[in-house]
Structure 1
Amino acid sequence: MLPRSRIISVVLIGLGAALIAASALAPLFMHTDGRVAVDGEETTLSLRDPHATLRSIAHPEEGATKTRVLRQLHTTVEEPSDADGAQLRVGVSVTREGEHSEDPQDLGGLHTAQVWSFGIDRRDGRVAGDMRVIEQIASPTRTIPGEGWWFAFPPNPEERTYDLFDDTLRGFYPADFVENTTLEGRDVKHYRQHIEPQNVARHYAGPLNTTRLPDGSEGYLYHSARRDLWVDEDSGVLLRLSEGIDDYYGRADGSRAEDVFTFQGEMSEGDIQARVDEATRLGGRSVADIILLVCVILGAILLLAGMVGALWPGRGPRRRRRAEDAGSEDGHAAAADGTPVA
Structure 2
Amino acid sequence: MALSAGTRRTLACLLVGIGALLIVAAILIPTFTVSKVAKTPLDLEITTVGKNPADVTSEVLDAKSLTSGTGPAKVDTKVPLISQRFLTVEDPSDKNKMTIQNGQTLRRIDKQGDTGLLSAIVDRVTIDRKSGMPVDTDPNGSIAANVDAKGNSIADPVQHTGLEYRFPIGTEKKTYPYFDSNTRKSYDMEFVEETEINNTKVYHFHQQVPATDLSKVVNSPTNKLTLPAAKWGLDEEGDVTMSRFYANTREVWVEPQTGTIIDGSEALNFFYARSADKPEVTALKSTLKFDENTIDSQIKVAKDNIDKLSLYSRILPIIFGIVGAIALIAGIVLGLLGERGGRTGRAVPAGRHTPRTATGDEYSDAPTQQIDFREQR
TM category (shorter chain) comes to 0.7 to 0.9
Matched residues in 1 for 2:53 and 2:66: separation?
Answer: 21
1:251-270 Cα distance to aligned partner (Å, 9 max, x none):
24632222221111122233
Matched residues in 2 for 1:302 and 1:15: separation?
Answer: 7
Assess, with a 3 A threshold, how the Cα gap between structure 1 residues 296 and 206 changes in structure 2: closer, same or farther.
farther
Q: TM-score of the superposition, structure 2-length normalised?
A: 0.71
Decide which moves more: 112-121 or 8-17: 8-17
If you compute each CA radius of gyration, which structure gives the higher value, 1 or 2?
A: 2
The Cα shift of 1:239 comes to 1.9
The Cα shift of 1:5 comes to 5.1
Out of 144, 156, 159, which is 1:134 matched to? 144
1:111-140 Cα distance to aligned partner (Å, 9 max, x none):
111111222322232233512111233353
Matched residues in 1 for 2:141 and 2:62: separation?
Answer: 28
> What is residue 306 of structure 2 aligned with on the other side?
283
Asked if 2 retains the 8 angstrom alpha-carbon contact of 1:160 and 1:176, the reply is yes
> Is residue 2:39 matched to residue 1:35?
yes
Match of 1:127, SS state, is coil
Matched residues in 2 for 1:332 and 1:164: separation?
Answer: 98
Amino acid paired to 1:303: L
Q: TM-score of the superposition, structure 1-length normalised?
A: 0.78
Assess, with a 3 A threshold, how the Cα gap between structure 1 residues 330 and 250 changes in structure 2: closer, same or farther.
farther
Amino acid paired to 1:91: G
Matched residues in 2 for 1:274 and 1:14: separation?
Answer: 45
Match of 1:272, SS state, is helix
After TM superposition, list the pairs within 5 Å mapping 1:157-176 onto structure 2: 157-176=171-190
Matched residues in 2 for 1:283 and 1:273: separation?
Answer: 15
Asked if 1 retains the 8 angstrom alpha-carbon contact of 2:48 and 2:290, the reply is no
After TM superposition, list the pairs within 5 Å mapping 1:173-192 onto structure 2: 173-192=187-206
Asked if 1 retains the 8 angstrom alpha-carbon contact of 2:26 and 2:317, the reply is yes
> What is residue 13 of structure 1 aligned with on the other side?
16
The Cα shift of 1:42 comes to 4.2
> What is residue 52 of structure 1 aligned with on the other side?
58
> Is residue 2:125 matched to residue 1:121?
no
> Is residue 2:164 matched to residue 1:150?
yes
Out of 294, 297, 311, which is 2:319 matched to? 294
Matched residues in 2 for 1:37 and 1:145: separation?
Answer: 23
Percent sequence identity over aligned pairs: 23
The Cα shift of 1:159 comes to 1.6
Matched residues in 1 for 2:316 and 2:83: separation?
Answer: 43
Match of 1:43, SS state, is strand
The Cα shift of 1:169 comes to 0.6
Matched residues in 1 for 2:123 and 2:116: separation?
Answer: 21
Decide which moves more: 216-225 or 300-309: 300-309
Assess, with a 3 A threshold, how the Cα gap between structure 1 residues 332 and 5 changes in structure 2: closer, same or farther.
farther
Asked if 2 retains the 8 angstrom alpha-carbon contact of 1:151 and 1:164, the reply is no
Matched residues in 2 for 1:121 and 1:296: separation?
Answer: 33
Asked if 2 retains the 8 angstrom alpha-carbon contact of 1:35 and 1:155, the reply is yes
Matched residues in 1 for 2:276 and 2:307: separation?
Answer: 52
> What is residue 338 of structure 1 aligned with on the other side?
none
Q: Which has the higher strand share?
A: 1
> What is residue 336 of structure 1 aligned with on the other side?
none
Asked if 2 retains the 8 angstrom alpha-carbon contact of 1:34 and 1:154, the reply is no
Which stretches in structure 1 are left out of the alignment for 5+ residues? Answer: 101-105, 324-328, 334-342
> How many residues end up aligned between the 2 structures?
325
Give the superposed CA RMSD. 3.7
> What is residue 97 of structure 1 aligned with on the other side?
109
Out of 28, 53, 76, which is 1:65 matched to? 76
